[in-house]
Chain A
C-alpha cells in the first residue's frame, strides 16, 4: 500500500491493451432493458409507503403538532415528528443534519419536513398527512443573501456568531467570513496598467438529476437497520445516520442502488432518516420516494453568489494582482463548501498577489448541496469575464492572454499546494489549435472562451479484487458509480492482470462489505478507486506468483508475471510452461485457498484538472434569446481510461452549464414560497436547445496515478457560463454580469446599448 502511494508505478512507455479503449459498460445492459434498480425500484414484502408533511412557511416557529386524527386513519402504521428524533444540540454538524431532516424548533424554508406517515397505500398516506395539525407561528423571512446580512434581517439561528470575525457577539445570518490572500494585492495593483472591476451575481440552480431520491428502510425487532437508497456516500450516510439516530454503525447496512444522476446532490440525505424512523416504529419496510416538487423545494440546490472581482494587468498582458469579495448563500444551514471558491477562482494563473474575502450566509431556502466543483463555477463566471475584458483592452487574443499567465509545474497555489506536472498550457495550446478556434466567427455570431480549474480529489477508499477458480475476476467497490466508473475501474484491473475486460465484473458494495469510503464526489472515483483496485490487482499478482512458485517448487522471487501469465524469472530457474491466472486459480484448493487482493488507502496525488471552453452564440436582438451555435470543450484528462465516457463528462457538464447560464433559477414569491418547483417552470436544457458538443481530450499524465489519469467530472461546468457570457458580449457589445442570461435580461442590455 505504501509503495503505491509513494510510487504509483506510472510508466508512460507501457503498452496498453485495454486502457484507452471504449468497451461497452457492463452495467449498461440492465439500463437499456429496464432491469437496473434505482432508489425507488425496490419492492419488499409488506412494504409501506412513506410520505412527508412539509412546512408551507419559509420561517415559522412550530408550536405544536397534533397527530391524533391521522393515527386513527385505517392503514396508517406509523407517524413520526420531531419527537421521534433524538435531541442534538443546535449549531453542531449533527444538530443541523437532524434539523434539516425533520424540523424541530422552527421550520426554516418552504418544504422543510415537519412530520411523516407510513401507510399501506399512497392514497392513505396522503390522506393522513392532511389530518396532521401543525400549529405554526409564522416569522418574518429572508430569501436574498445580501438582505440576510443586514443587521435588521430576520435571524434564522439564534446561536450563530460569525466565525472569522473577532468579537462577533450578536446573532447573525453570516456563518463565516473567510480571508484568503497571498502576496500584496495593493502593491500589485500599483504595477498594473489596466484594471477591470465588476460585480456579478449568480442564482441557485438545481443539480437536476432525473431520479428523485428514493429509499427503502427496514428494521428488525432487535434494532438492525437495512437501508437501500441512491447515494453518493453510503458510508457517510451510515455514519451520519448512526450519529443522529443513535444507532451503532454496525447495525446499519446501507446498500446503494443504481444512481439516477447525482452531480453532488446525493451526497447528503433527506428522506432516509425519516424512512428509518418510520420503519423502526412500524416494524415493516418503508419506501420514501420524493416527488419532483419535493426535490425542488427541499433538496439541492447550488449556492447563489454575489461577487465583486477586480484584476489588474500590465500592457504586456502580465496579471499583477487580483481582488475579490464573495457572498455565498447556503440555504437554511451551513455547508456550501464555499472555501473552494477563493482557493480555486484564480488558480490556473500564476498570480502572486491575491486578496479575497468570502462570506457564507444562511437564508430561508433549502440547505444547499454539492454540485460539480462546488461554489467554483459561480465565481469563475466573474473572473473569466474580467479577464476577457482585460485581454481586449490590452489588445491580446484571449487565449494568448491566458497562456501568458498560465500556471505551470512548480507554481505554489493560494491554498498551499505546489503544482506537479499539470496540463493547463497544453490545454490552452490545444484549444488555440483546434478547428473551432481556428475557424472564423460566422457573421452575426459572437465567440467566447473561458478557462476552468478543479483540484480533483482523493480520500479514503477501499476495494477488493477476487479471482474465481476459472480465472475470471470480481471487484467489490466502495464508491458509487455515478456515470460509468465501474467499467473504467474494471478496465484498469483487466490491464493489470492481462485478461480481457469481459472477464471482470464489478459490484458496488454495501457498507458491511468494505471499510469506510469517502463520498463519491470531487472527481475522485475513477482516480481513487482505480488506484485501490490496481493496488489490489498487484497484491493478487504477488500471490499468483507465490502459488506458481509453490507449484514449480522454486523460490517466490524466481517467478514473474507478464501479460496474464506467471513465468520463470530467468533461464536458470528451470523450464516451466507459463501458467495463466485461470490455471493457477484452478489449483487454489491445493494451494491455500482463494486468491484475492484488497486495499485501503487515504489516496493522495490527485492531479489538478484544467479546461478551456469555446462557444459561438447568436443572440436574437428582438427577443433576447440566445442560440448556442457551436461548442467545444478542451480539457486535460491526464489519461482517458475510457474516452467515450470522458467525452460524456465534458459534454454533460457543458450542457448543465448552458442551462445555468441561460435559463435556470428559482423564483420565490413575496410569501417566501418557491414558485417554480417543476420541470415545466424550472427549465433545464432539452435536446432541441443545444448543438453537438465538440470535445478535445488533452492528455498530460498525472504521474501519481498508475495510468496517469486525472479526474474529469468537475471542470466541464466550471468555465461554461463565463464562456457564454463572453460570447454574448461579442455578439451584442455588452457582456452580461448576472445569471441566468435569460431573454428579458438580455433584451434590457440590448436596449440599453442601443440607447447609448
Chain B
C-alpha cells in the first residue's frame, strides 16, 4: 500500500478532506475518492478538456493537477454550477439550443464557457472558438455550442 497524504480543500463551497496517493490527480480524487463524477475523463493528458474545473479561479484540466496540490484551494466543479433549482444561464441555454448531444464533454465546456464569460462578457465568435479549442466535442460540430455561449453571453449582459 502506497503512502497516503491528507488533503483539506473546498469544493463547491463545501469543506472536504481526503486521503490520496502522491501520483493521484485531482481528477482521480474528484471521481474515484469523492464520487464527484460530473467531471469526466476523456484522455487524462490535458488534451480534451472534459475534466475542466476551476482551482482558485483558474481554469485547469484536473487531470494535470496532482491531488495533493489541492491542499487549501477552492475548487469549482460542474456539480456546483447550478444554484438550487436555478440553472446557470449557460446550463439552461445549452438545453434550449441543443448545445449538447451525448453530454460527455458538456461539463467541461460549461465550466470553460463560464470562465470565459467571467473575463470577457462579450466575446466574438472567434474568441469563443479559440477559448474552447481545448475542449473536444465529437458530436455537435461545435456549431450549437458556440451559439449557446453567444446566447448566454447576450442574456448575461442583459443585452
Residues on A facing B (Cβ under 8 Å): 22, 24-25, 27-38, 40-41, 43, 74-75, 121-124, 207-212, 258-263, 289, 291-292, 482-484, 644-645, 647-648, 651-656, 678-680, 684-690, 692-693
A652 and B138 within 8 A (CB): yes
Q: Which residue of A lies closest to B134 (CB)?
A: A686
Contact A32 B144 (CB under 8 A): no
Say yes or no: A687 contacts B101, CB within 8 Å.
no
Q: Output the least CB separation between A212 and chain B (Å).
A: 7
* Bound CA span A654–B2, Å: 48
- The residue in chain A whose Cβ has the minimal distance to the Cβ of B96 is A24
**Cβ distance A314 to chain B, nearest Cβ, rounded Å:** 38
Q: Is the CB of A679 within 8 A of B142?
A: no
Chain A: which residue is nearest B100 at the CB level? A31
B62 within 8 A of A: no
Q: In angstroms, how far is the closest chain B Cβ from the Cβ of A489? A: 16
Q: How far is the CA of A259 from the CA of B130 in the complex (A)?
A: 27
A654 vs B46: C-alpha distance when bound (angstroms) = 25
Check if B104 sits within 8 Å of A34, measured CB to CB: no
Interface centre among B81, B101, B145 (most CB of A within 10 A): B101
A-B contact count (CB 8 A): 192
Query: Of B38, B40, B146, which one neighbours A692 at CB under 8 angstroms?
Result: B146
> 4 tightest CB-CB pairs across the interface, nearest first?
A34-B38, A31-B103, A260-B104, A655-B141
Q: B143 on the interface (CB 8 Å rule)? A: yes
Closest to B28 in A: A122
Whether A25 pairs with B95 at a CB distance below 8 angstroms is yes
Q: Identify the closest chain A residue to B90 (Cβ).
A: A32
Interface centre among A30, A211, A686 (most CB of B within 10 A): A686
**Bound form: Cα–Cα A652–B92 in Å:** 21
- The answer to whether B78 and A33 touch across the interface, beta carbons within 8 angstroms, is yes
Shortest beta-carbon distance, B16 to chain A, in Å?
16
Contact among B1, B106, B141 for A654, CB-based, below 8 A: B141
Q: Are B101 and A484 in contact (CB under 8 A)?
A: yes
CB neighbours of B98 from chain A (8 A): 22, 25, 484, 644-645, 647-648
- Provide the residues of chain B in CB contact with A482, threshold 8 Å: 102
Partner pick for A261 among B45, B102, B133, B147, CB 8 A cutoff: B102
Residues of A within 8 A of B103 (CB): 27-28, 30-32, 36, 258, 260
Contact A679 B102 (CB under 8 A): no
Q: Apart from A27-B103, A32-B87, what 16 extra A-B contacts exist at CB < 8 Å?
A: A31-B106, A32-B78, A32-B81, A33-B82, A37-B37, A121-B1, A210-B42, A212-B42, A258-B102, A258-B103, A484-B98, A647-B144, A651-B140, A652-B141, A655-B140, A693-B143
Nearest-neighbour CB distance to chain B for A337, whole angstroms, equals: 21
Q: Which of A207, A261, A689 has the most CB of B within 10 A?
A: A261
Contact of B47 among A258, A654, A680 (CB under 8 A): A680
Q: What 1/0 mask marks residues of chain B from 109 to 135 whose CB sits below 8 Å from any chain A CB?
A: 010000000000000011011101111
Give the residues from 56 to 72 in chain B that come closer than 8 angstroms, CB to CB, to chain A.
none
Residues of B within 8 Å of A684, CB to CB, are 136, 138
Minimum distance in angstroms from A295 CB to a CB of chain B: 9
Can you report 8 A-B residue pairs in the complex whose CB atoms are below 8 A from each other?
A: A28-B103, A30-B103, A33-B91, A209-B104, A261-B138, A292-B48, A644-B144, A684-B138
Query: What's the Cα separation between A634 and B92 when bound, in Å?
Result: 29
Kindly list chain A residues whose C-beta atoms are within 8 Å of the C-beta of B100: 28, 31-32
Rounded to whole Å, the gap between the CB of A656 and the closest CB of chain B is 7
- Complex Cα spacing A689 to B141, Å: 10
C-alpha gap A377/B96 in the complex (Å) = 32
Contact B94 A679 (CB under 8 A): no
Is the interface on chain B under 10, 10 to 19, 20 to 34, or 35 or more residues? Answer: 35 or more
Whole-angstrom CA separation of A34 from B40 in the bound complex: 9
Asked if B50 is at the interface (CB within 8 A of a chain A CB), the reply is: yes
Residue of B nearest to A292 (CB): B43
Out of A22, A291, A652, which one reaches B139, CB within 8 Å? A652
Interface: B105 (CB within 8 A): yes
8 Å CB contact of B129 from A208, A210, A644, A688: A688
Residues of A within 8 A of B23 (CB): 123
- Taking a contact as CB atoms under 8 Å apart, the answer to whether B140 and A211 are in contact is no
Q: Is B159 an interface residue (CB 8 A)?
A: no
- Bound: A210/B105 CA distance, A: 7
Tell me which of A258, A678, A687, A689 contacts B45 (CB under 8 A): A678
Minimum distance in angstroms from B40 CB to a CB of chain A: 7
A35 CA / B82 CA spacing, docked (Å): 12
B44 to nearest A CB, angstroms?
Answer: 6
Kindly identify which residue among B35, B45, B130, B137 contacts A210, using a CB–CB cutoff of 8 Å.
B137
Q: Is the CB of B138 within 8 A of A32?
A: no
CA distance A483 to B102 in the complex (A): 5
Known contacts A292-B42, A693-B143; is A34 also within 8 Å of B132 by CB?
no
Contact: A259 with B138, CB < 8 Å? no
Which residue of A has the minimal Cβ distance to B42? A210
Residues of B within 8 A of A260 (CB): 40, 102-104
Judging by beta carbons under 8 Å apart, are B144 and A648 in contact? yes
Q: How far is the CB of B124 from chain A (nearest CB, A)?
A: 12
Complex formed: what's the CA distance from A679 to B138 in Å?
A: 12
Of the candidates A22, A212, A685, the one whose C-beta lies within 8 Å of that of B41 is A212
Do B44 and A690 touch (CB < 8 A)?
no
Query: Smallest CB–CB gap between B32 and chain A, Å?
Result: 8
Q: Assess whether B77 is interfacial by the CB under 8 Å rule.
A: yes
Within 8 Å CB of A209, what residues of B?
A: 102, 104, 138
Contact call B101/A648, Cβ cutoff below 8 A = yes
Asked if B79 lies at the interface with its beta carbon under 8 angstroms from chain A, I say yes
* Smallest CB separation, B91 vs chain A (Å): 4
Q: How far is the CA of A289 from the CA of B96 in the complex (A)?
A: 32
CA distance A292 to B107 in the complex (A): 19
Contact of B9 with A by CB under 8 A: no
Shortest CB-to-CB span from A369 to chain B, Å, is 15
**Contact at B104–A210, with CB atoms within 8 Å?**
yes
Q: When the two chains form their complex, are residues B133 and A38 in contact, meaning their CB atoms are under 8 A apart? A: no
**In the complex with contacts A29-B95, A483-B139, A688-B129, A679-B1 CB distance below 8 A:** no
Contact A692 B87, beta carbon cutoff 8 Å: no
B142 adjacent to A655 (CB under 8 Å)? yes
Chain B residues in 8 Å Cβ range of A644: 97-98, 144
Using known A-B contacts A38-B40, A291-B44, determine if residue A688 contacts B133 with beta carbons closer than 8 Å.
yes
B37 with A34: CB separation less than 8 A: yes
Task: Give every chain A residue within 8 A of B144 (Cβ-Cβ).
Answer: 644, 647-648, 651
**Cβ-closest chain B residue relative to A683:** B47
In angstroms, Cα B125 to Cα A645, docked, is 22
User: A24 near B138 (CB under 8 angstroms)?
Assistant: no
- A652 / chain B contacts, CB cutoff of 8 Å: 101, 138-141
Chain A proximity of B132: nearest CB distance (Å): 4
Contacts of B1 in A (CB 8 A): 74-75, 121, 124
Most buried by B among A22, A43, A260, A262: A260
Interface pair B48/A679, CB less than 8 Å apart: yes
* A210 and B50 form a contact (CB under 8 A): yes
Do A483 and B101 contact each other (CB < 8 Å), given the known contacts A208-B138, A289-B41? yes
The answer to whether A34 and B97 touch across the interface, beta carbons within 8 angstroms, is no
List residues of chain A with CB within 8 A of the CB of B138: 207-210, 261, 263, 652, 656, 684
Q: Given A679-B43, A680-B47, A688-B129: A32 and B2 within 8 A (CB)?
A: no
Contact of A648 with B140 in the complex, beta carbons under 8 Å: yes
Q: Which residues of A contact B21 (CB under 8 A)?
A: 121, 123
Nearest CB of chain A from residue B63's CB, rounded to whole Å: 10
Decide: A690 near B87, CB < 8 A? Known: A24-B95, A31-B106, A123-B2.
Answer: no
Complex contact B139–A211 (CB within 8 A): no
